[in-house]
Every structure is written in C-alpha cells, then in structure tokens.
C-alpha cells in the first residue's frame, strides 16, 4: 500500500507532500491542474524511463520519494528479501533526475539499477492508463490477464522448462546440420594441426610466466646493478641505512622515559629499521634467483617464438591457443560421429517434444477451467456496466500441431456481444472504444477477485462514460480496493462519490511561477468539489445533487 509520496521540482510541481490511506481514493480537479503528474511520478518511481524535460524550469534536478507498506509474504516482500534490500514492513523508493540526463535510484537507502526498480515496482503498483484498454486486443495481454488470475503457476513453469529443453536440442541439431562436412583431406590436416598444437603449444599460465622471465633476462644487467646498489645502500656498515637506523634506535632507547616525543621517534625509527632488514632480505633473495645465463635466454626465445608462430598461423593471440586446440578436437570428434549424434538428437527431440506436449496439455486444461469462470464473471459485470444482455466468451483452444512456445500450445480468442440477441463476435471487430474500455475494466475486476493486489492506479480510465454506467464504474473501481488500495484520477462525479477519500488538486499562478496544491477534502469541501464536477458552477441545486450522490454511494457500499 502506498503511504506517502513526495515530489520536488518535477513538471510544474516545486514541492508536494501527499499522504495516502487504504481503500479507494479519487484524485480530482480542473483539467490541467496536474492530477496526472502524481501518476507519472509514481511511474518513474516504479522504473519508467525518465526525460530531462520533466525537471521543473529553473531547477537542476527533480527528486521523487514514495513509501510503501509491504506485508510479509507478499511478492514485493519476497523480492526485497531475495535482493537483500528488505527493511521490515516498509519500503522507501527514491529517484533523482538531473539536467545532465543522469538518473539515480535507491531502494531503502541502497543505490539500485533501473531494472531493479522496475522489477520491484511491478510488484508494488499496477498503473492503468487512459488508452490501456487497447492492450486487450493483443494476445500477450490476453494471456497475461488469464494466467495472472489463475492458480497454475507451476504448470506454466513446467511448460517453459520443457520448451527450454526442447529448444536446446533443436539448436544443437541445427549447428551440426549447418557445419560443412569434412573430407579425408580436411581430417588429415586437422589431425596434423591437433598433433602440432599438443606437442608444441605452451599452456597459457606457462606462456605468461615465460614471457615475464624473458623480460627479466633481457634487462638482467640493469636489474642486477640496481639490486647490488640497493643492497649497498641498505647494508653498508659505514653509510648503510639499516645499520645507521639500528644505532639511532639504540641511543634513543636510553632516553625514551624522559620525553614522549623521544619515545615516539624511537618507535618510528625501530619500525624503519625492521623494514630495512626485510627489504635487504628480499633484495638478497632476488639476487640469488637472478639467472643471467645466455643459454636460458636463448631457450626462452625459441619456445616463445614457436608459440607466436603458432598463434599467427591460427590467427589468434598466443594465450588463446589452448581454446583453439579444444575447438579443433571437438570439431574432429563431431566429424567422426556426426551421423550417430544426429540420430541420437532425433531421438532426444522426440522425447523432449513428448514431454512438452504433455505439459502443454495439462496447462491447457487448467486454462480452460479458469477461462470459463473468468468469462462468466465478466459477463455478470457487463450487465452492471450498461451492456444488459451482453455476453463475454474466452475461448482457449489447444493447437497440438503448432511449434512449441514458452507459453504453451494454446490459442486465445475473446468474443463479445455488447447487445442482447446478437451472437458473440471477435472482440476487435464488434465493440466500440467505450465498450472496450468497460469490458477491459470488467476483466480487471474479475481477474483480481479474491486475490491480494498491489496498489492499483487508474488514470482517467473512465473517459467517455456517464450516467448510471458511471455509477457502476465507480462501484467496480472501489471493489478493487477491497484487498488492497486503489487510486483513480477522474473527472466523473459519480466515480468520485464512491471513494473513501478524495484528494483535490489545484493549480495556482503566482508572481514567481505556477504552484500545485493538493488537499484531502472533508465532507463539506467534498460536496463542493463533486458539485463543481457535476455542473462547473456551485449552487444549492448542484450541492444537493452532490450530497445525494454521496449518500447513495455510501448506502451502496
């Protein structure tokens, strides 16, 4: 549930702080007052792409913050736990958009990617826009609504798993079929190249170590002179740093109790003397291991030269030769057993396809049962939405001849009759935009029935509706808040009257610019706002009508 929304320097909003309650909340106000800014801000907090043009004029960045209540065990709570971002039952989202185009996001104070914000956002909020009902004509949306309201997630996962196994075998077979066949000459050349690499190639780690040794030997004289000079500077009895430090420490130790600075200096010099001793040991070790043998240098140059020759021959870097060898050996082995492997893959494909078909058939049965229940519920809601005698059908057909897909072998068709006596026809052909909007709303309500839902936000989805239908739409939107929270931006008084809370958004012009204000309306102010929505002009008659709407809505719920 959304508890709190804070907006800073976004669009025409300089500063806005809003608190929300559970149940059904309507956001109302004049056209252009900034109502949809609240929806857009929440969309950005839930991972939508940002645009620097939304930063308020004169500001260098926009900042958005939202607090959500996250019940234990909810999808959002589980996601937060898995991502190690949970912080009890409250989730705080924050996002900034800078004028240089950079956008940053945080979840519970931890910086996250936009993909993470989007993944969590879809578990916290569902935003339904003004033209979203057009999505209902897309197959992807139809499957999402059907499967999202079912209780057969395991069946969907099993189909996806079986499809993945089948697809992997198909890919392997295609690779083998696409490989150019190797004749006797090709095989003989490949055997020679494999033998040459196995006998002459240096392992990557050994090649790296030998190159380092070669660099050391080529600079051996300079390195030996530097080491001997360093050893002289450290170890000389007359002017060496090590003996001089030890002598200084010995003399200071006799006086450390007389002055704390003397004690501190003695301690530092003692550490320096110890470091000098350790450095001398490392220098001596390096000198003892330094081999300036010309024979060793010549041996390294021969071996490294062979490695570079092989790399040029195979057109790779020397370190990549082991990978070339592995690829050649795999190709050689495949060439010798191509027909056998293809036959084995055909048998594996048959088994994998049988497993997929079985899983797809079980998923179809579950979908068919759910589709019948969903169609009946939508048909019942259509009667309330001004489509008396209308009928909704959701036909799920199993196409066993179709190629496997991750979502199964089902085909979905939505049929509807918006008027009595008319046979149902394909949804995209027989309904108007207004009817499609209402049917879409009915499907959303029916598919959410009895299920815990995240915060539902509707941005003027009731456009083009009026009269008794508007009353029904308000009632349906309110029903979506039964198991959660629903917010609706609306121009319809009938819908606003059904709300548990009503927020009014107003835009005010000032000398310094435009300011957006919001207020949670009390009973008297709510009557005035609904009266304004009914007729635009306040009067005793419009207020009486508003009071009547509120009274009817309260008795209905």
| Domain contains 302 | yes
Task: Give the three-class secondary structure for 181.
Answer: coil
Residues 200 and 125 in one domain: no
Taking each helix axis from N to C terminus, what angle separates 467-479 and 540-556, rounded to the nearest 10 degrees?
50
- What is the per-residue pLDDT for 287? 77
Instruction: Write the Ramachandran bin of 483: left for phi over 0, alpha for psi from -120 to 50, otherwise beta.
Output: alpha
- 260's CB contacts (< 8 A; 6+ apart) are none
DSSP letter for each residue of 154-165: HHHHHHHHHHHH
Mean pLDDT for 235-244 is 77
Last residue of a domain, which of 336, 362, 397? 336
Residues 85 and 201 in one domain: no
Measured distance CA(375)–CA(381) in Å, rounded: 10
| pTM of the entire predicted model | 0.61
Give percent helix, percent strand, percent coil of the chain, each to the nearest 5: 55, 20, 25
Last residue of a domain, which of 306, 336, 366? 336
- What is the per-residue pLDDT for 319? 85
Mean pLDDT for 409-421 is 87
Residues 200 and 321 in one domain: yes
Q: Are the C-beta atoms of residues 64 and 92 closer than 8 Å to each other? A: no
- Give the lowest-confidence range in 50-54, 186-190, 520-524: 186-190
Return the half-sphere exposure (C-beta side, CA atoms, 13 A cut-off) of residue 202: 22
pLDDT digits (tens, 9 = 90+) for 494-504: 899 999 999 99
Both tokens of 488, joined, read 């609706």
Measured distance CA(416)–CA(405) in Å, rounded: 27
pLDDT digits (tens, 9 = 90+) for 366-385: 999 999 999 999 999 888 88
Number of domains in the chain: 2
What's the order of all strands across the beta sheet hosting 13-19?
13-19, 2-10, 61-69, 90-98, 103-107, 110-112
| Domain contains 247 | yes
Task: Give the three-class secondary structure for 415.
Answer: strand
pLDDT at 452 over 60: no
Q: Which residue has the higher pLDDT, 292 or 301?
A: 301
pLDDT digits (tens, 9 = 90+) for 143-167: 988 888 788 999 999 999 999 999 9
- The domain of 203 spans 184-336
pLDDT at 401 over 90: no
Q: What percent of the chain has pLDDT over 90?
A: 29
pLDDT band for 404, please (50, 70, 90 cuts).
Answer: very high
- What is the per-residue pLDDT for 104? 93
- What is the per-residue pLDDT for 367? 95
Residues 221 and 329 in one domain: yes
| Domain contains 480 | yes
pLDDT band for 131, please (50, 70, 90 cuts).
Answer: low
Residues 205 and 323 in one domain: yes
- 384's CB contacts (< 8 A; 6+ apart) are 472, 475, 476
- What is the per-residue pLDDT for 337? 64
Measured distance CA(384)–CA(427) in Å, rounded: 19
- What is the per-residue pLDDT for 327? 82
288 sits in which H/E element? helix 260-289
pLDDT band for 474, please (50, 70, 90 cuts).
Answer: confident
pLDDT band for 365, please (50, 70, 90 cuts).
Answer: very high
- What is the per-residue pLDDT for 512? 66
Instruction: Write the Ramachandran bin of 23: left for phi over 0, alpha for psi from -120 to 50, otherwise beta.
Output: left
- 24 forms bridges with which residues in the sheet? 486
Phi, psi of 511 (to 5 degrees): -60, -35
Mean pLDDT for 511-516 is 73
Residues 128 and 60 in one domain: yes
Last residue of a domain, which of 311, 336, 361? 336
pLDDT at 31 over 70: yes
Q: Which residue has the higher pLDDT, 438 or 304?
A: 304
Residues 115 and 197 in one domain: no
- What is the per-residue pLDDT for 557? 58
- What is the per-residue pLDDT for 119? 92
Residues 213 and 294 in one domain: yes
- What is the per-residue pLDDT for 296? 78
- 76's CB contacts (< 8 A; 6+ apart) are 68, 70, 91, 120, 123, 124, 454
| Domain contains 403 | no
Measured distance CA(143)–CA(394) in Å, rounded: 11
Residues 122 and 205 in one domain: no
Mean pLDDT for 114-129 is 88
Phi, psi of 290 (to 5 degrees): -75, 115
Q: How many helices, marked H, and strands, marked E, lie in the chain? A: 19, 15
| Domain contains 414 | no
- What is the per-residue pLDDT for 463? 67
pLDDT at 210 over 90: no
Residues 191 and 115 in one domain: no
Phi, psi of 359 (to 5 degrees): -65, -40
Q: Which residue has the higher pLDDT, 359 or 123?
A: 359
Residues 217 and 283 in one domain: yes
Measured distance CA(7)–CA(17) in Å, rounded: 7
| Domain contains 311 | yes
Residues 215 and 119 in one domain: no
pLDDT band for 6, please (50, 70, 90 cuts).
Answer: very high
- What is the per-residue pLDDT for 350? 94
pLDDT at 30 over 80: yes
Q: Quick one: CA dihedral 397, 401, 402, 405, positive or negative? A: positive
Give the CATH number for residue 462: 3.40.50.300
| Domain contains 112 | yes
Q: What integer best gives the mean pLDDT of the chain? A: 85
pLDDT band for 183, please (50, 70, 90 cuts).
Answer: low
| Domain contains 454 | yes
pLDDT at 82 over 90: yes
């Amino acid at each position: 549930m959304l508890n709190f929304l804070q907006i800073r320097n976004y669009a025409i909003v300089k500063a806005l702080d809003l608190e929300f309650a559970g149940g059904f909340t309507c956001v109302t106000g004049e056209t252009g007052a900034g109502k949809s800014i609240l929806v857009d801000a929440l969309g950005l907090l839930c991972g939508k792409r940002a645009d620097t043009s939304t930063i308020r004029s004169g500001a260098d960045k926009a900042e958005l913050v939202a607090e959500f209540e996250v019940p234990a065990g909810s999808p959002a709570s589980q996601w937060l736990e898995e991502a190690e971002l949970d912080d009890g039952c409250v989730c705080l989202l924050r996002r900034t958009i800078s004028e240089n185009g950079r956008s940053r996001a945080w979840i519970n104070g931890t910086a996250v990617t936009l993909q993470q914000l989007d993944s969590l956002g879809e578990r916290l909020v569902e935003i339904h826009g003004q033209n979203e009902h057009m999505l209902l004509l897309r197959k992807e949306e139809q499957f999402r609504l059907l499967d999202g309201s079912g209780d057969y997630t395991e069946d969907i996962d099993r189909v996806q798993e079986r499809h993945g196994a089948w697809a992997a075998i198909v890919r392997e077979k295609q690779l083998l079929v696409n490989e150019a066949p190797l004749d006797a000459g090709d095989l003989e050349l490949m055997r020679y190249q494999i033998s040459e690499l196995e006998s002459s190639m240096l392992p990557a780690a050994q090649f790296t170590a030998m190159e380092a040794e070669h660099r050391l030997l080529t600079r051996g004289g300079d390195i030996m002179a530097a080491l001997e000079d360093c050893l002289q500077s450290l170890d000389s009895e007359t002017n060496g740093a090590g003996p001089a430090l030890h002598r200084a420490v010995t003399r200071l130790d006799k006086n450390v109790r007389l002055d704390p600075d003397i004690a501190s200096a003695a301690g530092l010099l003692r550490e320096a003397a110890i470091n000098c001793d350790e450095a001398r040991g490392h220098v001596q070790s390096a000198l003892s291991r330094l081999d300036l043998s010309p024979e060793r240098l010549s041996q390294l140059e021969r071996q490294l030269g062979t490695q570079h020759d092989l790399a040029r021959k195979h057109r790779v870097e020397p370190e990549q030769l082991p990978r070339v060898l592995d690829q050649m050996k795999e190709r050689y082995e495949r060439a010798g057993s191509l027909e056998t492997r293809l036959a084995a893959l055909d048998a594996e494909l048959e088994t994998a396809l049988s497993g997929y078909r079985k899983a797809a058939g079980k998923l179809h049965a579950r979908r068919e049962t759910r589709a019948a229940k969903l169609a009946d519920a939508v048909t019942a809601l259509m009667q309330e939405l001004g489509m008396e005698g209308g009928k909704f059908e959701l036909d799920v057909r199993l196409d066993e001849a179709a190629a496997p897909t991750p979502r199964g072998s089902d085909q979905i068709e939505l049929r509807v009759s918006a008027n009595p006596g008319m046979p149902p026809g394909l949804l995209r052909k027989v309904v108007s935009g207004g009817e499609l909007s209402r049917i879409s709303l009915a499907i959303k309500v029916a598919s959410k029935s009895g299920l815990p839902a995240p915060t539902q936000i509707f941005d003027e989805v009731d456009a083009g509706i009026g009269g008794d239908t508007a009353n029904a739409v308000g009632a349906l939107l309110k029903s979506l808040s039964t198991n959660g929270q629903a917010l609706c931006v609306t121009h319809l008084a009938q819908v606003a009257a059904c709300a548990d809370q009503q927020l009014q958004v107003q835009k005010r012009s000032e000398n310094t610019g435009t300011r957006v204000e919001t207020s949670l309306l009390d009973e008297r102010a709510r009557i005035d706002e609904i009266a304004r929505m009914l007729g635009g002009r306040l009067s005793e008659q419009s207020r009486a009508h508003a009071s009547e709407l509120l009274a009817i809505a309260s008795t209905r719920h």
